[in-house]
Amino acid sequence: MDSRMKSAFELEEGSHIVESNNQLETNEITNDDANLQDVISTKAELVRSACAMDKSSTLHFRDKIVIVTGASSGIGAQCAIAFAKCGATLTLVGRDVKRLQSVAEKCKEAKGITPLTINVDLTKHKSCELVVDTTVKIFRRMDVLVNCAGRATITSLFDNTMEHFDETFAINLKASYRLMQLALPHLKKTKGNIINIIGANFEKVRPGFLPYSISMAGLETLTKSAALELAPDGVRVNAIRPGITKTNFLHNLNIMGEDLEFAYARLAENTPSKRVIQPEEIAKMVIFVASDTCPSLTGAFIDIDGAASMS
Q: Helix 279-290 vs helix 74-85: angle between axes, to the nearest 10 degrees?
A: 50
Is residue 18 within 8 Å of 10, Cβ to Cβ?
Answer: yes
Buried b (16+ CB within 10 A) or exposed e, 214-247: bbbebbbebbeebbeebeeeebbbbbbbbbbbbb
Is residue 308 within 8 Å of 243, Cβ to Cβ?
Answer: yes
pLDDT at 306: 76
* CA separation for the pair 125, 178 (Å, rounded): 11
* CA separation for the pair 83, 59 (Å, rounded): 9
Span 222-273, pLDDT tens digits: 999 999 999 999 999 999 999 776 666 666 666 667 766 766 667 667 776 7
Is residue 55 within 8 Å of 21, Cβ to Cβ?
Answer: no
* CA separation for the pair 38, 43 (Å, rounded): 9
Classify the phi-psi angles of 4: left when phi > 0, otherwise alpha if psi is within -120 to 50, otherwise beta. alpha
> Most confidently modeled of 130-134, 258-262, 272-276?
130-134
Coil/strand/helix, residue 3:
helix
* Single-letter code of the amino acid located at 148: C
Span 290-301, pLDDT tens digits: 999 999 999 999
The answer as to CATH 3.40.630.30 being correct for domain 65-310 is no
Span 186-235, pLDDT tens digits: 999 999 999 999 986 656 667 788 999 999 999 999 999 999 999 999 99
> Most confidently modeled of 6-15, 54-63, 219-228?
219-228
Domain ranges of the chain: 3-55, 65-310
- Report in angstroms the alpha-carbon separations of 23 from 36, 41, 87, 311: 13, 12, 34, 61
Catalytic site positions: 212
pLDDT at 116: 98
